Amino acid sequence: MAKVEAMMPWKDVPLGGTILEPGNARKFKTGDWRSKIRPVTDKEKCIKCGMCWIFCPDMAYTHREDGYFDWNGDYCKGCGICAKECPKDAITMVAEEE
């Protein structure tokens, strides 16, 4: 399990467990329980449409300056949605080593 950065005494927890810092889920890295497969993009086939980025339920893709999308193993669960949704079949799910 990823280390939680929210270990604080109960009196310091913001009211009702409210999260005061937008987007801090980024600090909570969950990629370590990914199914033992991950997506690999073939840039030759990619048309930079962004479907993988839109559909990924874990926001594991980030948009690069050159238009391609970078994959991030800190959050990817290996669900395969991006590979399924890619209109150009540019994404292949490949087995990961232990």
Partner 1 sequence: MAKRVGMEVSISISEAVKLANVDVISAYPITPQTHIVEHLSEFVSDGELHSAFVPVESEHSAMSAALGASAVGARTFTATSSQGLALMHEIMYLAASMRLPVVMSVVNRALSSPINIWNDLSDIMAERDSGWIQVFAINGQEAYDLTLQAFKIAEDPRVLLPVAVNLDGFILSHVIEPIELFEQKEVDPFLPPYQPVLRLDPEKPVSMGAFGSPEVFIEVKKQVEEALIGSQKVVAEVWKDFGQRYGRVYKPVESYQTKGAETILITMGSITETAMMAIDALREKGRQVGLVHIRLWRPFPFKEFLQAIKGAKTVAVLDRALSPGGVGGPVGLEVKSALFGKEERPYVAEFVAGLGGRDLTVETFIEVLDKAEKYSQKQKDFQYELIGVREK
CB of 63 to ligand SF4, least distance (A): 9
Q: What are phi and psi of 11, to 5 degrees?
A: -70, -25
Considering the complex, state which of residue 40 and residue 59 has its C-beta at the smaller distance from partner 1: 59
Q: What tokens appear for 62 in the block?
A: 């980030």
Chain positions 9 to 68 lying near partner 1, rule: CB under 8 A, are 9-11, 13-20, 22, 25
Strands 69-71 vs 37-41: parallel, antiparallel or unpaired: unpaired
Nearest one of 78, 66, 96, 92 to 30, comparing CA atoms: 78
Considering the complex, state which of residue 88 and residue 95 has its C-beta at the smaller distance from ligand SF4: 88
Beta partners for 70?
Answer: 62
Residues that bind ligand SF4 (CB under 6 A): 39, 41, 46-52, 56, 58, 60, 69, 71, 76-82, 86, 88, 90-91
